[in-house]
Amino acid sequence: MKARMTQYVIEPAPQASLSVFGDDTDFPIRRIFCVGRNYEAHIVEMGNDLREPPFFFCKPADAVVPNHASVSYPKATSDLHHEVELVVALGAGGSDVASEDALDLIWGAAVGIDLTRRDIQGEAKKRGRPWDMGKGFDQSAPIAPLVPIGDVASLTEGRIWLSVNGTTRQSADLADMIWPVADCISYLSGLVALAPGDLIMTGTPAGVSALQRGDEVTAGITGLPDLNIKIAE
Ligand code: MN
């Protein structure tokens, strides 16, 4: 029997992707998982319990915006927050992956911002509703070019910071993560089967605050290319 090419009834969406630092290739994105509450000082500033295990939420793959993008101030909020995060991209998948093996799944790393509609997220928390509309909106995941893992200095130490119009708002160290990257991957792989193309945003340190139209935002992690975005006027 002859294989039949799938005939889609509408045009399929373009493949979401991240550019790879230093060449013309792209990394295809499958899913975006985000870790909640992974730095102690941020947990304290949000008034949450330090003893909780990590938990996860998702953003759509096509929420990614590239470096130097102008991001529209999102609909339905008056409290848009920045959260600088280390992003890892998986080149291999797996279920129930041990922490000792988890770093083997990583293809590369990048600097990202988990943009958050804090007012919508706060209302969802209060009412026990899902976080999706606070976290997974259009253009909610600016991510800098991805660095292949062999060229990444460290996933466990190095400064992580974010500035707005030249003023530092977030400054911490990757070593401050409660659940290191390997543990995040291992834990998440016990909840879903991870797959090549998955991104994991590994949580933000303290200092989250509101962005305004016209703000210039720069975020960095030692050894990775900076991320620059502008919130459109
Ligand atoms: Mn976050």
> Read out DSSP for 121-168?
HHHHHHHT--SHHHHS-TT-EEBPPBEEGGG---SSSSEEEEEETTEE
Q: What is the DSSP letter of 173?
A: E
User: How far apart are the CA of 7 and the centre of ligand 1, in A?
Assistant: 38
Of 137, 151, 168, nearest to 223 (Cα)?
151
Which residues touch 226 (CB under 8 Å, ≥6 apart)?
Answer: 111, 144, 218, 219, 220
Helix (H) or strand (E) holding 56: strand 55-59
User: How far apart are the CA of 11 and the centre of ligand 1, in A?
Assistant: 32
β-pair type (64-65, 141-142) = parallel
User: How far apart are the CA of 208 and the centre of ligand 1, in A?
Assistant: 9
User: How far apart are the CA of 206 and the centre of ligand 1, in A?
Assistant: 11
Q: Per DSSP, what are the bridge partners of residue 166?
A: none
Per-residue pLDDT at 10: 98
Per-residue pLDDT at 4: 81
User: How far apart are the CA of 67 and the centre of ligand 1, in A?
Assistant: 18
Q: How far apart are CA 206 and CA 212, in angstroms?
A: 19
Identify whether the C-beta of residue 208 lies closer than 8 Å to the C-beta of residue 81. yes
Write down the H helix ranges in 35-147.
40-45, 99-102, 118-127, 132-135
User: How far apart are the CA of 114 and the centre of ligand 1, in A?
Assistant: 5
User: How far apart are the CA of 194 and the centre of ligand 1, in A?
Assistant: 19
Identify whether the C-beta of residue 91 lies closer than 8 Å to the C-beta of residue 218. no
> Read out DSSP for 185-217?
HHHHHTTS-B-TT-EEE----S---B--TT-EE
Tokens of 158: 């190095």
User: How far apart are the CA of 4 and the centre of ligand 1, in A?
Assistant: 43
Per-residue pLDDT at 2: 63
- The predicted model scores a pTM of 0.96
Q: How far apart are CA 124 and CA 35, in angstroms?
A: 17
Q: Kindly tell me the burial class for residue 202, based on how many C-beta atoms sit within 10 Å of its own C-beta (0-12, 13-18, 19 or more).
A: buried
Identify whether the C-beta of residue 133 lies closer than 8 Å to the C-beta of residue 117. yes
Residue with tokens 């988890």: 102
User: How far apart are the CA of 197 and the centre of ligand 1, in A?
Assistant: 19
pLDDT in single tens digits along all 233 residues of the chain? 567 889 999 999 999 999 999 999 999 999 999 999 899 888 888 888 877 788 999 999 999 999 999 999 999 999 999 999 999 999 999 999 999 999 999 999 999 999 999 999 999 999 999 999 999 999 999 999 999 999 999 999 999 999 999 999 999 999 999 999 999 999 999 999 999 999 999 999 999 999 999 999 999 999 999 999 999 99
Q: How far apart are CA 3 and CA 138, in angstroms?
A: 37
